[in-house]
Amino acid sequence: MKQSTLVMDFGTSNTLVGAVIDGKSFSALPLDPFSPDPTVIRTLLFFPDGNKAYYGHEAIDAYEDHDFEGRFIKSIKKFLPVQSYLGSYIDNRMVKLEDLIHFFMLEMKKRAEKHLNHQFDSILLGRPAKYSQDSAKDNLALYRMTKAAELAGFKYIAYLPEPIAAAHDFSSEFQESKLVLVVDLGGGTSDFTVVNMHKNKIQQEDVLAISGVPVAGDKYDGSIMEHKIAKYLGANVTYRAPLGKNILQMPKALLDHICSPGDLTQFHKKEFYAFFKGLKSWNVSSENRKKLELLEVIVDDNLGFKVFEAIEKAKVTVNLEGSAHFHYKYTDLEIIEDIHRDEFDTFSQKHTNKIFDELHECLKLAQLKPEDIDFIYCTGGTSKLNSIQTRLKKMFSEEKVQSGNAFNSVLAGLNKYAIENLC
């Protein structure tokens, strides 16, 4: 048993850090003084060059101060199960994915140690129920995460699935036996667990099923890009190569990059150099040529992060108010779109369907039906989406569905687990 353990909810969008020292819990440490909420650290890294790095909210400010030149990294967690993603080029040098995460983790470790005046060599990490539906890719993600933690200086590394951590957070609320479904929907993954909640401390046998799918908030942002924004950047353009007869469309790989917050933020022109070079000779209308040239501006000037920040704000507004007016302007690029909740729910329905397919799979693993569940506990920002809440309440009844703290539930549960099992 360790006397102290650092606790980390390393998320696709945000990271929170806590600790347990001699049985005392320190939850949600204020480690980002540049953030509106210092306890919520954006999972962002910015490298203006190979000798300096910025983290969290400061990474955004530094990126702007450097006129969007350098390497800006967002949603790094989503790449853990992607075998083809080796890392990112910084000053023309490949930096491995494990190192990128280790840089971030080590910085959080140093800040926590300074804040608490205590050294840590043990860490408890939250992890998705599944990094990937493919077990080999899931194992790869766990290996990479462990390697990053080792590089950050941790000798003892433990994991707890995030939906189980959320269950630990509110387990004391139940005085009698209840079948509880935890719905944890974040930025990169949607996780579920069914727990037989009947006492203050959750035992392993109380967890009846756990499941997850790598579909969550980033996918909903991507759906806004795909259906409302990408058309300004040539997504629907058709063209012919010189002397060619076939009508061509934008390469699917390029379109996929455009519609992914993590991919577009790290996108380099050289990856599609031939495509952009061809613009000068292809048979394409002047209007469509201008759209493709605007895409080139987005890539050349590293604007992916700023565009998706605006998209995410629009998503939140649509969910809260029913509609949003999207306006983004940069040099000759100006995007003006009204986004309404009904259309957002429609064009993002494929993601909602995948989430609920996995929820049904979790119930199937537990050998339960929706009517058997007594209580649904929701956490994570994506769980607040109107489309998610509507389907949950229709599936289980409104009175059963309750929401916890969108950001802190997993960390609080990790802290509680650490006290009970690790310290």
CB 307 within 8 A of CB 329: no
- Which residue, among 46, 74, 91, has the nearest Cα to 309 in the 3D structure? 74
**Residue 65 confidence (pLDDT):** 93
- Which residue, among 359, 367, 370, 374, has the nearest Cα to 174 in the 3D structure? 374
User: Is the same domain home to 155 and 230?
Assistant: no
- For residue 240, give the DSSP letter: B
Q: What angle do CA 387, 392, 393 make, to 5 degrees?
A: 100
In a domain, 344, yes or no: no
In a domain, 98, yes or no: yes
The domain that contains 94 carries what CATH number?
3.30.420.40
| Structural domain total, the chain | 2
**Residue 234 confidence (pLDDT):** 85
Is 0.95 surpassed by the pTM of this model? Answer: no
**Residue 38 confidence (pLDDT):** 97
Give the containing element (helix H, strand E) for 180: strand 178-185
In a domain, 124, yes or no: yes
In a domain, 310, yes or no: yes
User: Is the same domain home to 9 and 146?
Assistant: yes
In a domain, 173, yes or no: no
In a domain, 40, yes or no: yes
In a domain, 382, yes or no: no
- What token pair was written down for 374? 């007594």
User: Is the same domain home to 28 and 135?
Assistant: yes
User: Is the same domain home to 159 and 253?
Assistant: no
Dmax (CA) for the chain in angstroms is: 76
**Residue 188 confidence (pLDDT):** 93
**Residue 249 confidence (pLDDT):** 82
Q: Based on the number of CB atoms within 10 Å of its own CB, is 287 exposed (0-12), middle (13-18) or buried (19 or more)?
A: exposed
User: Is the same domain home to 142 and 25?
Assistant: yes
Give the CB-side neighbour count of residue 251, counting CA atoms within 13 A: 10
User: Is the same domain home to 268 and 157?
Assistant: no
User: Is the same domain home to 10 and 111?
Assistant: yes
pLDDT along the chain (423 residues), means of 10: 87 96 93 96 94 96 91 93 91 92 98 97 95 94 98 97 89 80 94 85 87 95 96 85 77 87 77 72 79 84 90 96 94 91 97 98 96 94 95 95 81 92 81
User: Is the same domain home to 253 and 155?
Assistant: no
**Residue 199 confidence (pLDDT):** 65
**Residue 200 confidence (pLDDT):** 66
User: Is the same domain home to 109 and 226?
Assistant: no
In a domain, 62, yes or no: yes
42 lies in which domain range? 4-163+410-421
Last residue of a domain, one of 252, 283, 316: 316
User: Is the same domain home to 142 and 244?
Assistant: no
Last residue of a domain, one of 316, 339, 367: 316
- What token pair was written down for 214? 């790598």
User: Is the same domain home to 12 and 100?
Assistant: yes
- For residue 398, give the DSSP letter: G
Last residue of a domain, one of 316, 351, 368: 316
User: Is the same domain home to 158 and 63?
Assistant: yes
